[in-house]
Homo-oligomer: A and B are copies of this chain.
Amino acid sequence: MTTRGGDRPATPAVKTRKPRSSRTGRATMADVAERVGISAITVSRAFKRPELVAPELRQRILDTAQSMGYVPNQAASALASARSMTVAVLIPSMTNMVFVETLAGIHDMLLPRGYRALIGVTHYSPEEEERLIRTYLQFQPDGILLTGTDHTAVTRTYLSALSSPTVHMMELLDDPDSLSVGCSQEEGGRLMTTHLLERGYRRIGFVAVQLDPRTLARLDGYRHALEEAGLYDEKRVWRLPDPSSIHLGAAMIDRLMAENSDCDAVFFCNDDLAQGALFQCQRRGIRVPDQLAVAGFNDLPASAWTTPTLTTVATPRYAIGRHAAAMLLDLMDGKEPPQRRLDLGLTFIAREST
């Protein structure tokens, strides 16, 4: 059926050949195969399972493909093989460095293995997450990476019904059926609060913004630590639904002053808030930490450079991304990952602001 080795095809092949790249103008596998004088499947193999093709022929295929500007059609491949080589990744925000660094970890683990990330931003809304999941499931992702554990009922139904491998990032899950990589936000809150207590602060405030589950877990840690010390007082807790920002942190200092708060320390749920607070303290001449101690969370790059430098808790978000992706790769390979719940811990960083 196929003329082998003939450099110049004298007569047209028996079957009527379709014109090259019928619709899109792009060369197809069949076009490359025809040019080389072999069948399409061998071209496929030259790309996907090169070890199955004789080295010489393989090189000839690759060269020909290159010269024809052939690019494999991922949609056709996905359809035929039922593998999309795509992982859906949902994060709450992209302006928050924490998640961007998580993404970097995911990318670094996934790309070398040939997987691509389809990134969705939920804006901290489980409903938005549900909508994104619905959309992204159309791409038949081979795996899913989710942030946190706060999902709608529909999302959970989708996930269990489709049985796509799924790993939850940031928070830890106790459910033995779910996979999770993260650190204990509650412990982080407790760690910082204990530190402040040790330093002698007694009227410690907490500023919670965004009010996502992780922030609330930190608040829990703070509350438990203070309750144990008999020092918890609801009036020193501020809860704001607004997104975290430097501006808001600065505004909180103004508010504390206006409200005549008696805090001798304030634990901000995020470094950018705390940075804003430090900036505003400097403006207003509030001495940190003597007059007011300031603490943050996450250890953003600028926190080591503010005046004074900021005491904070470093979260291993890059590592979380890497490990979550690694776990997912195991699952997609049909292997059971070493552990279904991976706590990567936290690092407390004492600096000048406390």
Are A95 and B95 closer than 8 Å at their CB atoms? no
* Bound CA–CA A101/B93 (angstroms): 11
- Chain B residues, Cβ within 8 Å of A71: 134, 137-138, 162
Could you list some 21 contacts between A and B, CB below 8 A?
A24-B82, A26-B140, A69-B162, A71-B162, A72-B138, A74-B138, A74-B139, A75-B76, A75-B140, A76-B79, A79-B79, A95-B97, A95-B101, A100-B100, A107-B121, A116-B118, A117-B119, A246-B301, A247-B304, A280-B305, A282-B307
Whether, in the assembled complex, A161 has its beta carbon less than 8 Å from a beta carbon of chain B, the answer is: yes
Contact with B along A220-246 (1 / 0, CB 8 A): 000000000000000000000000011
Contact with B along A9-26 (1 / 0, CB 8 A): 000000000000001111
Contact with B along A70-101 (1 / 0, CB 8 A): 01111111110010100000000011010011
Whether, in the assembled complex, A152 has its beta carbon less than 8 Å from a beta carbon of chain B, the answer is: no
* Bound CA–CA A33/B240 (angstroms): 48
Residue of B nearest to A139 (CB): B74
- Report which of B79, B275, B306 forms a contact with A73, defined as CB distance below 8 A: B79
* Bound CA–CA A76/B134 (angstroms): 17
- Chain B residues, Cβ within 8 Å of A304: 247
Residue of B nearest to A26 (CB): B162
Are B75 and A79 closer than 8 Å at their CB atoms? yes
12 more contacts with CB within 8 A, not counting A24-B82, A26-B140, A118-B118, are A23-B82, A69-B158, A69-B162, A73-B140, A74-B140, A75-B79, A75-B139, A79-B79, A95-B97, A100-B100, A247-B301, A302-B302
Are B69 and A161 closer than 8 Å at their CB atoms? yes
Whether, in the assembled complex, A276 has its beta carbon less than 8 Å from a beta carbon of chain B, the answer is: yes
- Chain B residues, Cβ within 8 Å of A140: 24, 26, 73-75
- Chain B residues, Cβ within 8 Å of A75: 74-76, 78-79, 84, 139-140
Stoichiometry, copies per complex: 2
Q: Indicate whether A95 sits within 8 Å of B100 (C-beta atoms), given known contacts A25-B163, A276-B305.
A: yes
Whether, in the assembled complex, A135 has its beta carbon less than 8 Å from a beta carbon of chain B, the answer is: yes
User: Chain A: interface residue count, which band?
Assistant: 35 or more
CB distance from A83 to the nearest CB of B (A): 10
CB distance from A209 to the nearest CB of B (A): 15
* Bound CA–CA A139/B157 (angstroms): 29
Whether, in the assembled complex, A326 has its beta carbon less than 8 Å from a beta carbon of chain B, the answer is: no
* Bound CA–CA A117/B158 (angstroms): 23
Are B246 and A305 closer than 8 Å at their CB atoms? yes
Whether, in the assembled complex, A256 has its beta carbon less than 8 Å from a beta carbon of chain B, the answer is: no
Are B84 and A94 closer than 8 Å at their CB atoms? no
- Chain B residues, Cβ within 8 Å of A103: 94
- Chain B residues, Cβ within 8 Å of A288: none
Whether, in the assembled complex, A267 has its beta carbon less than 8 Å from a beta carbon of chain B, the answer is: no
* Bound CA–CA A138/B74 (angstroms): 5
Whether, in the assembled complex, A283 has its beta carbon less than 8 Å from a beta carbon of chain B, the answer is: yes
- Chain B residues, Cβ within 8 Å of A104: 94-95
CB distance from A45 to the nearest CB of B (A): 17
Whether, in the assembled complex, A206 has its beta carbon less than 8 Å from a beta carbon of chain B, the answer is: no
* Bound CA–CA A78/B84 (angstroms): 13
* Bound CA–CA A301/B271 (angstroms): 14
Which residues 152-207 of A have a CB within 8 angstroms of B? 157-158, 161-163
- Chain B residues, Cβ within 8 Å of A137: 71
CB distance from A195 to the nearest CB of B (A): 24
